[in-house]
Amino acid sequence: MTARRDRSDYVINGTKTWISNGIEGSCFALLVKTNPEASPRYSGMSLFIAPKGPGFKVGRKLEKLGYHSIDSGELIFDDYRISADHLIGEVEGRGFTQVAGGLELGRINVAARGVGIAEGALRLASSYAQTRKTFGKPIAEHQAIALKIGEMATRARAARLLTLDAAGAFDRGERCDMEAGMAKFFSSEAALENSIESMRIHGAYGYSKEYDIERLYRDAPLTCIGEGTNEMQRLIIARQYMRRNAT
Ligand SMILES: Cc1cc2nc3c(=O)[nH]c(=O)nc-3n(C[C@H](O)[C@H](O)[C@H](O)COP(=O)(O)OP(=O)(O)OC[C@H]3O[C@@H](n4cnc5c(N)ncnc54)[C@H](O)[C@@H]3O)c2cc1C
């Protein structure tokens, strides 16, 4: 997407996809190129506050596996004109830095959602395993199920502690891209693993819409993708770890 200055306005063209609340939302933070030739490329981006209006159209609503509480959509900008005072900050070219500043917090937020899913899946599994009986005893007393619960409880606890560690560093104003990346990576994988293990513990009812576990199972994968995929998180963690431990 590009924004071209036209006297006291900017004229914006291009499309965005997978925008949360794109269908129902009314106002967006919009990262676009104000200088497509800039090098390095990120220095040519600027951030705008973009209310819906003429030239700002909503495209397709994207249907999803889970996370139905927010809509996701495509946005189309066709000679969308806004006054220059919608630029965030005094000058062009700071957009990437402004957005990157929010990524640490965004990743800690996703990590916290991962913790919620991991702990929720554990609670549901533990409660079901103590209620459902096979071969004359609750399935929680079968060692195969107890081993799963032990692993799930450990994963959920480790995810919570990593997330608190990253949030603490953020609150103290410290650089925490590595800590936020670790928390996001670990907690989202814990959410995914715990939700599928909990589903297995529920047997056929894990596959039923009557029980909550199927929703956690559908919601968990997004935490591995949003705010930067877990592949990218591992690269960020490795790069930052080596920078801090250079030999
Ligand atoms: C429900 C939902 C809501 C979203 N909300 C928003 C929103 O509000 N605003 C917004 O801007 N975006 C939003 N997104 C987009 C989201 O941030 C991206 O989908 C995500 O960052 C991954 O980008 P991508 O889909 O282009 O994947 P791709 O970049 O195409 O990646 C595909 C695969 O290749 C891997 N990969 C790509 N590049 C590399 C590399 N250099 N090294 C190693 N592996 C790599 C990825 O890890 C992934 O496994 C949303 C997405 C979803 C699903």
Mean pLDDT of 27-51: 96
From 70, 103, 225, 236, give the residue whose CB has the most ligand 1 atoms within 8 Å, as the site to mutate.
Answer: 225
Residue 43 and residue 93 in contact, taking contact as beta carbons nearer than 8 Å: yes
Give the 3-state secondary structure of residue 58.
Answer: strand
Each residue of 107-124: pLDDT tens digit?
Answer: 999 999 999 999 999 999
Distances (CA, A) of 245 to 25, 237, 238: 44, 12, 10
- Cβ–ligand 1 contact at 226 (below 6 Å): yes
What would the pLDDT profile of 121-146 be if each residue is shown by its tens digit? Answer: 999 999 999 999 999 999 999 999 99
pLDDT at 193: 98
Three-state SS at 15: strand
* Residue ranges of domains in the chain: 2-86, 100-244
The model's pTM: 0.94
For the chain, percent of residues with pLDDT exceeding 90: 98
CATH number of 100-244: 1.20.140.10
Give DSSP secondary structure letters for 69-90.
TS-EEEEEEEEEEEEGGGBSSS
Q: Which of 223, 170, 174 is nearest to 195 (CA)?
A: 223
pLDDT at 241 (0 to 100): 97
pLDDT digits (tens, 9 = 90+) for 58-75: 999 999 999 999 999 999
Our answer on whether the CB atom of 15 is closer than 6 Å to any ligand 1 atom is no
Task: Indicate which residue of 92, 151, 227, 231 is catalytic.
Answer: 227
User: Does the Cβ of 20 fall within 6 Å of ligand 1?
Assistant: yes
Calculate mean pLDDT across residues 229-247.
96
Q: What's the 73 CA to ligand 1 centre distance in angstroms?
A: 14
Distances (CA, A) of 37 to 40, 100, 166, 225, 240: 9, 21, 36, 29, 28
- Residue type, position 131, single letter: T
- Active-site residue flag, 92: no
Of 93, 101, 95, nearest to 38 by C-alpha is 93
Q: Look at residue 63 and give its three-state secondary structure.
A: coil
Tell whether the model's pLDDT for residue 101 goes beyond 90. Answer: no
Run of H or E residues at 115: helix 95-131
SS3 state at 65: coil
Fold of 2-86: Butyryl-CoA Dehydrogenase, subunit A; domain 2 (2.40.110)
Work out the mean pLDDT of the chain and round it to a whole number.
97
